[in-house]
Chain A
Amino acid sequence: MDTRLPDDAGQLADAATRRFRRLGGVDAARRAEADPATRETARKALDELGVFDLDVRADADQLLAGAVLCRAAGAVVLPWPLIPHLMRVSGRHLVLIDPGHVRVDHGAVGLSWLGANVTGSAWPLEAGPPDVAGRLGPFVTGAVLGEEQPGRIDSDDIARYLTLQSWTILGALESALAEVTGHVRTRHQFGRALSQFQAVRFTMADVTIAVRGLEQLAKLTIWRLGRGDADQRVADAMALRLHAAETAVTTLRASHQMYGALGFCDETDLSVLDRHLQPSLRYPLSAERLARALVPFAGSGALTSRIA
């Protein structure tokens, strides 16, 4: 048993973090909100990191490389559709959708899209109206479904997509937590640092444990994606994605609570992280819908804690 990331993945994660910091960190997302054309700088950064040569389907190492990149991108809510790119299918960018109500984050970056639901039915998508984007998910667009395509998307692709989405969420939560931890240490009220108040300490302890738990589950899941049977892999990925969404809701809520009014202001990263992460939490399916989809696995042995 060794839960540490292999050296290669660790080095790539560091390189990505450094490169995204050069972009300005969360400022790149802020800039993109004011001028969506600046998203091109995010694409360039990914290109420099070799993202466009990565084949996450090829082997476990490349999948893990994709995951650590998603985590680093999540940490700054990098304004570019990285997962659809990593998961391209014959030149089209794969995005998981709810076909009854199609939404695409960064739909308008000028890519060609392939939408799929979590059971693998797929449609070419034309991103466009309605114009529904607001402060939560400022780059979201609507899209029109084309003719359903004959073949299904491989269930392993669904599993990879949901896993990469979860790693993105993990990165964003770690980043939010780091900012809030710094804040409660330095902000003083009643003559003491906020971190001295037991209510604050308990809350910080709870959310930190929750994010650590998510990290471990994310690592287990990606390790298992190379093993077991296909059903098991989808169940694992959906379970991780459900846990990521629920951990995000409690972590972001607690982070705002600890930050006070300042955390709602766009000058703090927390506000931008929260707003820009929302599409990853809500699409393709809400947490309760994911949970419902997992119910059949409860009796099949797919959700036991037996790990290997």
Chain B
Amino acid sequence: MDFELGERADDVRSQLREMLRAGVPDDFLGAFTDDPADLELTMRFCAELAEAGLLCIGWPAEYGGGDGTVWDQTVVREEMWAWHEPRGPQYMGVNWVGPAIMRHGTPEQKARHLPPIAAGSVIWCQGFSEPEAGSDLASLRTTATRDADGWLVSGQKVWTSYAAMASWCVLAAVTAPSEPTSRRLTLFLVPMDRPGIEVRPIASMLGPHHLNEVFIDELRVTDADVLGTPGDGWRIMRDALAYERVGIARYARCEALLERVREFLRDGWDDLPESVRTRWVRALIEIRVAKLLAYVAVGGEDGVDDAAASAARIVTTTLDQTVAELLFEALGSAALDTGTDAALHGAVEDHWRYAQAATVASGTIEIQRVITARDILGGR
């Protein structure tokens, strides 16, 4: 047994902390605000990370990565999430879009798409969910119809995070309506400025940019846009979703916020009800457990294991909500405060709202339980 992540990982962590201190202001709460400057900051920061060879440190060098280990990449994800994700929406490209293209893309697609992700200069979005296809993702209806020049796609996507910021989309569509799920769907890599795509933001308690509708009307796609082979969409989506589910180190922000709030409280810590402090201790233990289960999921021989990713996801998302409620308890009447006058510039309120969706986004925890139970017990 050895729980060391390796010397390089430790160096990466120190280097990242240095960069965060220098490049990310204290009141930064992520890119998904009404202030466009926050997105700009993340674009700059991604470029700096890429320049320092850190953004895609775990990727092979041939794709613009740093030939590092999965642990080096894990450290990046933890440090970024702990500081409100200064990669903004680009975490998705690093976590699952890039790996999906590496695993399933053509040489041309790899050459075209991986370098910009590794350079920190492109934002991707995920066009999977539809109004009628949430948990039952396989039943999606957006359809790509074959013609002489390729396909024409029409339909509607929903909940598409960062769609208005993105320049590319991994779009799922039906290409063989009468085939079973395993052959019915195809993924396309589509630029968001291609005619036929319209994005409408959705007002939500999570704040701006998290949720959008995407209307697709006779969007032209070609064979060159297909990720993998036509009909292989379902397999690639499931693979991609496993990467997505371990891609956000929520436990790292939980730990950082608990620490920052404890510092903020100073002597007030001693005045907290004993029950809050004992819950605090339990939360710290749960953070360790969540981290270890995430490590099990990413440390597999052949990429991210599906069932292990679901298990890690259940624990880290419920932890997120436990900690959100605990931090509200700790702040008492200051819990709901936002803005520059608020404790930690409103980081606790921001975290609470975003945590509410944790157990729904990337597949609900009920669906993660279905996947985990299938792994343990067999059956469907």
Contacts and interface: CB of A to CB of B under 8 A. Distances in A.
A53 B33 CA distance: 45
Pairs A-B, 6 closest by C-beta atoms: A134-B338, A132-B337, A130-B341, A98-B333, A189-B136, A101-B333
A266 B204 CA distance: 5
A185 interface: no
A223 interface: no
Interface of B: 129, 132, 134-136, 139, 158-159, 202-207, 211, 272-276, 279, 321, 325, 328-329, 332-339, 341-342, 346, 349, 352-353, 356-357, 359-361, 364-366, 369
A156 interface: no
A112 interface: no
B349 A288 contact: no
A130 B204 CA distance: 24
A256 B354 CA distance: 12
Given A136-B352, A256-B356, 9 more contacts: A97-B333, A101-B333, A132-B341, A134-B338, A136-B349, A260-B134, A278-B336, A283-B333, A288-B272
Nearest to B359: A257
Given A189-B134, A282-B332, A265 B204 contact: yes
A271 B204 contact: yes
How would you classify the secondary structure of chain B's contact residues: helix, strand, loop or mixed? Answer: loop
Q: Which of B321, B337, B359 has the most CB of A within 10 A?
A: B337
A213 to B, nearest CB: 20
Contacts, number: 132
B372 to A, nearest CB: 13
A162 B273 CA distance: 20
B205 A275 contact: yes
A287 B329 contact: yes
Contacts of B276: 288
Contact of B369 (A140, A199, A261, A264): A199
Contact of A288 (B129, B207, B275, B339): B275
Interface string A123-147: 0000001111111110010000000
B325 A288 contact: no
B329 to A, nearest CB: 5
Contacts of B364: 257, 260
A102 interface: yes
Contacts of B275: 288, 291-292
Contacts of B274: 292
A134 B329 contact: no
Interface in A190-243: 190-191, 197, 199-200
A36 interface: no
Q: Which of A133, A260, A291 has the most CB of B within 10 A?
A: A260
A284 B333 contact: yes
A100 interface: yes
Contacts of B328: 282, 286
A274 interface: yes
Q: Which of B134, B332, B336 has the most CB of A within 10 A?
A: B336
Interface string A46-81: 000000000000000000000000000000000000
Given A130-B341, A282-B332, A264 B206 contact: yes
A308 to B, nearest CB: 31
B39 to A, nearest CB: 19
Given A134-B339, A265-B202, A288 B273 contact: yes
